Amino acid sequence: MGGAIFGYDIGTALASNYCRFDSQLLTIFTSSLYIAGLLTAALLASWVTACRGHRPSLVLGGRQRVHGILGRALLGIGLGFVNQASTASALFVSPWIDPGTVVHRPSGPYPTSEFEHSSIPATVNKIFNLDDFLTKRDAWAGTFDSVLTRDTPRTDCLVTLPEPVKLRQTAAAEHAPLSEFQEELVQLAAVLNGDHTKDSYPHKLVEGMMVAEAAKYCVDAFRAFLDECDRCNKCGEDGSHIPTVKPSSAPGKNKSSFASKVLACLACGHPSPSSSS
């Protein structure tokens, strides 16, 4: 419930028309939601959640959402309650854990310790017996090592995964126009192959493109990026270097010719992999 309400708020805020105008007044009006939510979560919602649990906070947050139609501040109060009360579950996958193990609360290291995101570095610290914690937060957080109760690993674990069930019963609509999501995937692929620097990016790039063409474009773009990564590795680039693919040239030009390989390796000072020693 909390995740649904939070996702609805984020989607509404990001799609808001207020963000499209350069107006300080409208910006202040929209930001009041987040300011109210921040103050509420810090001063009131955390106390209610700790004393009464997550359910009352979610109920209060939902009610304030309804009343928030009458005022942005009340909507922000609802946001604060819901964000504070939303839970994050952890799933453990290990042959050293008994099946069906469920842990609700930690056993330490402090009486007030709880499971939270910083429990992950705290668990790593405890398992590997590190010298010190990163901050006081992970020093306080509960650890997950208590679920590792077995002396020997389980032998009933899956060795091979079953075949996934196809969700689509019909054939792929390869000649259908792209959906908005598919257009965004193509535009992301254009960043890999360098086409994002062209004038046709982003909208003209996907104009009139079909599903089959888009799928091939994405595969080719990823392959071009991998080839560039391989070239940078052979040229001796370190791990901090970001491979950048130049935009594709005119059709019919052979970019993998011997001359292009020689020129590419001259730029990095290494011999061409196809040339003889």
Taking the CA atoms of the chain, what radius of gyration do you get in angstroms?
A: 27
Same domain, 97 and 134: yes
H or E element, residue 188: helix 180-193
Give the bridge partners for 177, in sequence order: 210
Nearest CA to 109 out of 145, 150, 148, 147 is that of 145
Structural domain containing residue 248: 180-252
pTM of the model: 0.41
CA–CA gap between residue 235 and residue 222 (Å, rounded): 20
Q: Report the chain's mean pLDDT, rounded to a whole number.
A: 77
Banded pLDDT at 85 (limits 50, 70, 90): low
Flag whether 123 is in a domain.
Answer: yes
54-67 vs 72-85: helix crossing angle, rounded to 10: 160
Flag whether 64 is in a domain.
Answer: yes
Structure confidence at residue 273 (pLDDT): 44
| C-beta separation of 1 from 78 below 8 A | no
| pLDDT at 35 exceeding the cut of 50 | yes
Same domain, 6 and 81: yes
| pLDDT at 78 exceeding the cut of 70 | no
| pLDDT at 261 exceeding the cut of 90 | no
Structure confidence at residue 222 (pLDDT): 94
Across 104-108, 122-126, 158-162, the highest mean pLDDT is recorded for 122-126
Structure confidence at residue 21 (pLDDT): 54
> Hunting for tokens 């109920």 — which residue is that?
59
Q: In angstroms, how far apart are the furthest CA atoms of the chain? A: 78
Same domain, 109 and 147: yes
Banded pLDDT at 257 (limits 50, 70, 90): low
Same domain, 77 and 96: no
Flag whether 273 is in a domain.
Answer: no
Same domain, 81 and 132: no
Flag whether 52 is in a domain.
Answer: yes
| C-beta separation of 57 from 84 below 8 A | yes
Banded pLDDT at 152 (limits 50, 70, 90): very high
Flag whether 37 is in a domain.
Answer: yes
In total, how many domains does the chain have?
3
Flag whether 175 is in a domain.
Answer: no
Between residues 249 and 110, which one has the greater pLDDT?
110
Structure confidence at residue 30 (pLDDT): 66
Flag whether 217 is in a domain.
Answer: yes
Same domain, 73 and 116: no
Average pLDDT on 173-199 reads 91
Same domain, 103 and 75: no
